[in-house]
Amino acid sequence: MAKYIVKRVGLALITLLIIVFLLFVMVRIMPGNPFPSERMSAEQIANKRIEMGLDKPVLVQFRDYMVKLLQGDFGKGTSLYYGAPIKTVLSTCVQNSFRIGGLAILIGTAVGLLLGITAALNRGRFLDGFCTVFSIVGVCVPSYVFLIFLQYYFSYKIPYFPYFFDANRFLFSSILPALSLSLFTMSTVARFTRNEMVEVMDSDYVRLAESKGIYGPRLIRRHVLRNALIPIVTVLAPLIVDLLTGALVVEKIYGINGIGKLMVDAISGEGVDYNYVLALGILYSALYIGIMLAVDLLYGILDPRIRVAAKGDA
């Protein structure tokens, strides 16, 4: 198993390196550059390029970038927040996005599981239909629409929650955006849990468990949920990445200084900020690869069939 993990981690790192390289090259190829031409003369731009090392061959630039990156240095902004180290700006944004995203994941998963289990246990009855309708609505309504709805009722009609994000009242002012962001995850998890459970409840091995006298909570917990929840991990992983990396529109509407907002600013500001786009791209990729890897390893622990195969592999 240890050998298997080392192999998987190694592969993940190589993947990440390739992504960083592609990002690095593509940022330089794509239209737009860090210099607003209407405000800078050609000479100024040329000087700036030399200062930033953009005149060197791409491979040399990449080498220099990697050397710094490995020391944990993302460089400085090339147009956005001019001059401030990216690390400082990024850490604030990451904190905000991660906290709100984390809260959304917690709410979404917990409520989603509860809804799904309730629906499956009441299959064909009213509650099942209610959960199905709720899931469909939840998947279809964009989170920012839901956020505006929440703002209208719980900030304006009943002035309880704040209109905008306030870092000083972090948890309190995170509730509305987290709730609206959790809706999609909640619906997806609920629908998936319900369908997986119904399938398992119809399976032969649950019949066999019943035929040996197992019933009620023990049957559901040990034979139904244990089997039904394994595949949910795979559905959850990309949702988690999505939520952690921030939501462009929700962050904009609720005035949250998060990763999503930063990404938009980095691309659509006065000039395309090479280093910010790169840093954010690397962050997204690393998160995605990391969480997928974690899921694969977790899957191995949860599902004995894979556990043994992995052992054989190594």
Partner 1 sequence: MNEKAILELKDLDVSFRTNAGVIHAIRGVNLDLQKGETVAIVGESGSGKSVTMKAVTGLLDENATVNRGQIHYRLAENGKEEIVDLLKLPKKELRRRINGRHIAMVFQDPMTSLDPTMPVGKQIMESMLLYGGRSREEAKARALELMNLVGISDAEHRMKYYPHQFSGGMRQRVVIAIALSGDPDILICDEPTTALDVTIQAKILELIKDIQKRMGLSVIYITHDLGVVAKVADYVNVMYAGKIVEVGNVNEIFYDPRHPYTWGLLTAMPDMDTDDDRLYSIPGSPPNLLHEPKGDAFAPRNAFALAIDEKAEPPLFKISDTHYAATWLLHPDAPKIEMPPELQARLERERKEAAKYLA
Q: Which residues form the interface with partner 1 (CB under 8 A)? A: 123-124, 203-205, 207-216, 218, 222-223, 226-227, 230, 302-305, 308
Pick between residue 25 and residue 206 the one whose CB is nearest to partner 1. Answer: 206
Nearer to partner 1, 55 or 210 (CB): 210
For 219, residues 6+ apart whose C-beta sits below 8 A from its C-beta are 206, 209, 210
The Cα–Cα gap between 155 and 280 comes to 32
- Indicate the residue among 131 and 230 with the shorter CB distance to partner 1: 230
Strand partners, 107: none
Neighbours of 165 (CB within 10 A): 21
Query: How would you class 260 by CB atoms within 10 Å of its CB: exposed for 0-12, middle for 13-18, buried for 19 or more?
Result: buried
Q: What is the smallest separation between the CB atom of 203 and partner 1, expressed in angstroms? A: 7
Instruction: Identify which of residues 186 and 224 has a Cβ nearer to partner 1 in the complex.
Output: 224
Residue with Cβ nearer partner 1 (12 or 121): 121
Q: Which is nearer to partner 1, 87 or 123 (CB)?
A: 123
Which residues is 76 bridged to in the sheet? 85
Neighbour-count burial of 214, counting CB atoms closer than 10 A to its CB (0-12 exposed, 13-18 middle, 19+ buried)? middle
197: left (phi over 0), alpha (psi -120 to 50) or beta: alpha
CB of 222 to partner 1, least distance (A): 8
Give the shortest CB-277-to-partner 1 separation in angstroms.
44
What's the min distance (Å) between Cβ of 123 and partner 1? 8
Q: How far is the CB of 214 from partner 1 (least distance, A)?
A: 7
Q: How far apart are CB 212 and partner 1 at their closest, in Å?
A: 4
- Side-chain half-sphere exposure of 137, counting CA atoms within 13 A: 9
Taking the least distance from each CB to partner 1, the nearer of 87 and 125 is 125
DSSP for 296-310, please give it: HHHHHHH-HHHHHHH
In one-letter notation, the amino acid at residue 178 is A
> In the bound complex, what is the minimum distance in angstroms from residue 305's beta carbon to partner 1?
5
Nearest CA to 149 among 139, 167, 161? 161
